[in-house]
């Protein structure tokens, strides 16, 4: 393993040096980015198959330049020259064949299909790296019932965090054969990423604070733009898909002057719409909303304060950011069809046959050279050569995730969708208000989340905290699913 860079599981750092660097970065005001440009739709990845039932394309990861600030070129990493990467749209029942070309000099990469039910050897996990300069084909089928809003990102061992914040992430929509949401609502993807720019337009290196808390940027972008503008007629409804593709930013979101209805989670539609005042979208989570723009004027998507636990100085100001501004014109929209009261059935799982407990802890210790930290699951840091859990394909399991650490940790499992059944806080057990398919769930500090999960396909799967720096520092394990 020592041939791979950037993968010390327990970094040891000189405090004085890095604390100084952090404070220097904070004292400097972040560059101003233009706001109020028309919202760009994510460009679609063209299907080269030429026949229905197959989605075939090529994705190349390579260095590129972006222009966030007038007159400054920022070196980034991009898929097919763009960040976020192109939007992939395929249908339930389709076969997908995507050739991945890794053109990042000197670095391994992969494409991981976050949340999608793809075979373990097609899932771009860290055991399956694509060398710099190499190509590989990812091939899988999209089963019936898998319609939802997913995303793709690199997952190479020790390098995922950096490749993602440098620009590699894209959205992947699986469309339903029969979709109950009225077509008149449209379908707009909003992909959130997080950018930190130094004065000269470069992206600063990761600091000690970033490693501890996860790297949070200075600007939250939507489809690569800061606070873009969308124009809607009054009375219009819009279907929005929100993706948190940031490394570590918790987005507690509210819409001023517009009513939000939650219709979908990570793995697709809910059973029925749920009115929502606000939404907490932790790193890697997605939601689908229908937003009603009934009042002419300005409707803004803004962030509220959320304390997810922060170590050391430099807690970012997360309240009061305007992420998107919707200009609602006085001209009334055509009459919108109503949102159906039932969206689709979600079958609850049967009685689990096995239960497992995963405990998150953080360790911070001083040694001769500085501070040493660990982000652990059941007292262990990730080891690619170790199987942590052996499970059987098709068996229903109860997983209890206990967060005994000082920060929230969004828990993610590869290869399937699960259902959260209970949340325990201060000894009180609560049930979620509705059933939902999830692949990522925030486990708040001191909280225990119980979920029911079933892996249908055999192979080794990762589970980890989706603060990518924590994943890199060890908060990850392997479940080996046997046939």
Binding site for ligand C2O (CB under 6 A): 112, 114, 153, 155, 284, 412, 414, 462, 464, 466
286 binds Cu ion (CB under 5 A): no
80, two tokens: 């097919």
Q: Dump the DSSP string for 326-376.
A: EEEEEEEPPPPPPPPS-----PPP---SEEEEEEEEEEEEEETTEEEEEEE
Please check whether residue 282 is in contact with residue 246, taking contact to mean a CB–CB distance below 8 angstroms: no
Residue 284 binding result from Cu ion, ligand C2O, none, given CB thresholds of 5 to 8 Å by partner type: ligand C2O
Residue 465 binding result from ligand C2O, Cu ion, none, given CB thresholds of 5 to 8 Å by partner type: Cu ion
Residue 467 binding result from Cu ion, ligand C2O, none, given CB thresholds of 5 to 8 Å by partner type: Cu ion
Q: Shortest approach of ligand C2O to residue 399 CB, angstroms? A: 16
Q: Shortest approach of ligand C2O to residue 462 CB, angstroms? A: 5
Tokens 């771009």, located at residue: 124
266, two tokens: 């990570």
φ, ψ of residue 122 in degrees (nearest 5) = -115, 5
215 binds Cu ion (CB under 5 A): no
Residue 438 binding result from Cu ion, ligand C2O, none, given CB thresholds of 5 to 8 Å by partner type: none
470 binds Cu ion (CB under 5 A): yes
Q: Shortest approach of Cu ion to residue 375 CB, angstroms? A: 6
Residues 6+ away with beta carbon under 8 Å from 356 = 389, 397, 398, 399, 400
Question: What does the alpha-carbon distance between residue 173 and residue 271 come to, in Å, rounded to a whole number?
Answer: 19
Q: Is 211 helix (H, G, I), strand (E, B) or coil?
A: helix
Residue whose CB is less far from ligand C2O, 136 or 153: 153
Question: What does the alpha-carbon distance between residue 39 and residue 60 come to, in Å, rounded to a whole number?
Answer: 25
Q: Is 158 helix (H, G, I), strand (E, B) or coil?
A: coil
Residue whose CB is less far from ligand C2O, 112 or 166: 112
Q: Shortest approach of Cu ion to residue 26 CB, angstroms? A: 22
308 binds Cu ion (CB under 5 A): no
Q: Is the peptide bond before 29 cis (omega within 30 degrees of 0)?
A: no
474, two tokens: 């060890």
414 binds Cu ion (CB under 5 A): yes
Query: What stretches of 106-215 adopt beta strand conformation (E)?
Result: 112-114, 135-141, 148-153, 170-175, 188-195
Residue 413 binding result from ligand C2O, Cu ion, none, given CB thresholds of 5 to 8 Å by partner type: none
Among 467, 473, 479, 481, binds Cu ion (CB under 5 A): 467
Q: Report which secondary-structure segment, H or E, holds 208.
A: helix 208-213
Q: Give the Cβ contact number of residue 56 at 10 Å.
A: 17
Give the single-character DSSP code of 319.
T
Residue whose CB is less far from Cu ion, 150 or 185: 150
Taking CB under 5 A as the binding criterion, the range among 224-232, 272-280, 329-337, 407-415 that sits at the site for Cu ion is 407-415
Taking CB under 5 A as the binding criterion, the range among 30-38, 196-204, 299-307, 469-477 that sits at the site for Cu ion is 469-477
Q: Is 300 helix (H, G, I), strand (E, B) or coil?
A: strand
Residue 409 binding result from ligand C2O, Cu ion, none, given CB thresholds of 5 to 8 Å by partner type: Cu ion
Q: Dump the DSSP string for 410-478.
A: EEEESSS-BEEEEEEETTEEE--SS---BSEEEE-TT-EEEEEEE--S-EEEEEEESSHHHHHTT-EEE
409 binds Cu ion (CB under 5 A): yes
Tokens 């914040």, located at residue: 165
283, two tokens: 């790193």
153 binds Cu ion (CB under 5 A): no
Residue whose CB is less far from ligand C2O, 325 or 416: 416
- Identify the CA nearest to 281 among candidates 321, 242, 308: 242
Residue 470 binding result from ligand C2O, Cu ion, none, given CB thresholds of 5 to 8 Å by partner type: Cu ion
Residue whose CB is less far from ligand C2O, 290 or 478: 478
438 binds Cu ion (CB under 5 A): no
What is the side-by-side order of every strand in the sheet holding 476-482?
389-392, 476-482, 459-465, 409-413, 440-443
Q: Shortest approach of ligand C2O to residue 125 CB, angstroms? A: 7
Residue 451 binding result from Cu ion, ligand C2O, none, given CB thresholds of 5 to 8 Å by partner type: none
Residue whose CB is less far from ligand C2O, 124 or 273: 124
Residue whose CB is less far from ligand C2O, 112 or 454: 112
Residue 155 binding result from Cu ion, ligand C2O, none, given CB thresholds of 5 to 8 Å by partner type: ligand C2O
329, two tokens: 């014109």
Q: Shortest approach of ligand C2O to residue 414 CB, angstroms? A: 6
Residue 461 binding result from ligand C2O, Cu ion, none, given CB thresholds of 5 to 8 Å by partner type: none
Q: Shortest approach of ligand C2O to residue 252 CB, angstroms? A: 20
- Identify the CA nearest to 218 among candidates 308, 318, 301: 318
How large is the C-alpha radius of gyration of the chain? 22
Among 94, 111, 114, 352, binds Cu ion (CB under 5 A): 114
Residue 239 binding result from Cu ion, ligand C2O, none, given CB thresholds of 5 to 8 Å by partner type: none
Question: What does the alpha-carbon distance between residue 262 and residue 6 come to, in Å, rounded to a whole number?
Answer: 39
Residue whose CB is less far from ligand C2O, 128 or 343: 128
136 binds Cu ion (CB under 5 A): no
- The residues of the shown chain that bind Cu ion, judged by CB under 5 A, are 114, 409, 414, 465, 467, 470
């Amino acid at each position: 393993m020592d041939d791979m860079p950037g993968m010390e599981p327990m970094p040891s750092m000189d405090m004085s040096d890095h604390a100084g660097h952090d404070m220097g970065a904070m004292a400097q005001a972040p560059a101003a980015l233009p706001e109020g440009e028309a919202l760009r739709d994510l460009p679609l990845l063209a299907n080269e198959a030429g026949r229905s039932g197959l989605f075939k394309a090529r994705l190349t990861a390579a260095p590129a330049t972006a222009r966030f600030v007038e007159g400054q070129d920022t070196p980034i990493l991009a898929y097919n020259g763009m960040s976020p990467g192109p939007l992939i749209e395929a249908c339930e029942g389709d076969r997908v064949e995507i050739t991945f070309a890794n053109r990042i000099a000197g670095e391994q990469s992969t494409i991981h299909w976050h949340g999608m039910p793809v075979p373990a050897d097609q899932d771009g996990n860290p055991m399956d790296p694509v060398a710099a300069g190499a190509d590989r084909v990812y091939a899988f089928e999209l089963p019936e019932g898998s319609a939802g809003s997913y995303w793709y990102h690199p997952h190479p061992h020790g390098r995922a965090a950096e490749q993602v914040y440098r620009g590699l992430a894209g959205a992947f929509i699986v469309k339903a054969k029969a979709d109950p949401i009225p077509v008149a609502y449209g379908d707009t993807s909003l992909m959130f990423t997080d950018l930190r720019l130094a004065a000269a337009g470069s992206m600063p290196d990761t600091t000690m604070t970033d490693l501890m808390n996860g790297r949070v940027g200075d600007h939250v972008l939507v489809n690569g733009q800061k606070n873009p503008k969308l124009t809607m007629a009054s009375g219009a409804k819009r279907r929005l898909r929100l993706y948190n593709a940031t490394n570590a930013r918790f987005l507690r979101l509210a819409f001023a002057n517009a009513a939000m209805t939650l219709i979908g989670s990570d793995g697709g539609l809910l059973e029925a719409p749920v009115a929502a005042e606000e939404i907490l979208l932790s790193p890697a989570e997605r939601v689908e909303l229908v937003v009603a723009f009934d009042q002419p004027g300005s409707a803004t998507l803004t962030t509220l304060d959320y304390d997810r636990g922060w170590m050391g100085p430099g807690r970012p100001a997360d309240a009061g950011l305007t992420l998107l501004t919707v200009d609602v014109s006085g001209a009334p929209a055509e009459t919108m069809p109503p949102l159906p009261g039932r969206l689709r059935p979600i079958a609850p799982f049967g009685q689990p046959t096995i239960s497992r407990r995963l405990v998150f802890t953080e360790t911070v210790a001083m040694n001769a050279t500085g501070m040493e930290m660990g982000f652990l699951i059941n007292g262990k840091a990730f080891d690619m050569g170790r199987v942590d859990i052996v499970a059987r394909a098709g068996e229903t399991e109860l997983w209890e995730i206990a967060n005994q650490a000082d920060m929230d940790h969004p828990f993610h499992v590869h290869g399937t969708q699960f259902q959260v059944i209970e949340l325990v806080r201060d000894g009180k057990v609560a049930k979620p208000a509705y059933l939902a398919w999830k692949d990522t769930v925030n486990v708040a500090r001191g909280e225990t989340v119980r979920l029911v999960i079933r892996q249908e396909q055999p192979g080794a799967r990762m589970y980890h905290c989706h603060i990518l720096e924590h994943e890199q520092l060890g908060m990850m394990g392997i479940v080996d699913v046997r046939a």
